[in-house]
Amino acid sequence: MHTHEHNCNLLISFFFLLLVQKKEKRSYISLPKMFMADLEKNYQLEHGLIVKQLNAFINEGYMQAYFRDWGNVTGCKILKNYESEESKAMGFVRFATGEEADKAEMAGPHFIGGDLAVVRRVVCPKVALVSDRMWG
């Protein structure tokens, strides 16, 4: 392994360890695929997508139905900033497997509710949270 790649792996592992210790909420991270594989060797991961530039009228049910074509959607959450003048929202979609999340990301471009959404692959440490009830 090259020194630069090794240093990147160490930095990512350190950052991820901090995320694992912070269990009160999920923390997502977007990484190149080669680093995700390394993390999976040491941590149980949840796989998903972050979806930006969503139409503000999209709800979780709509987004979950949209992404169901690529796999088993195990959670979906949309965040809206009501104080912003921008009429866009962002969301998170969680899949049962990394392969399903990969398929969904690669199927883009994604037009959700008529608008082009920005979709990025993410992972987070697998944790059991009280807020899981919100995810359905």
Tens digit of each residue's pLDDT, the chain (136 residues): 455 454 445 444 545 454 444 555 666 666 666 666 666 676 677 889 989 988 888 889 999 999 999 999 999 988 876 666 565 788 999 999 989 999 999 998 999 988 999 999 888 777 655 455 444 4
Residue 107: CA atoms inside 13 Å, Cβ hemisphere, count?
16
CATH number at residue 91: 3.30.70.330
Domains of the chain: total: 1
d(CA 37, CA 34): 5
Asked if residues 118 and 23 have their Cβ atoms less than 8 Å apart, the reply is no
**Type of residue found at 32:** P
Range of the domain at 22: 3-135
Q: What six digits make up the tokens of 124?
A: 């987070």
CA distances from 93 to 9, 108, 110, 120 (A): 26, 15, 13, 10
Entry pTM? 0.69
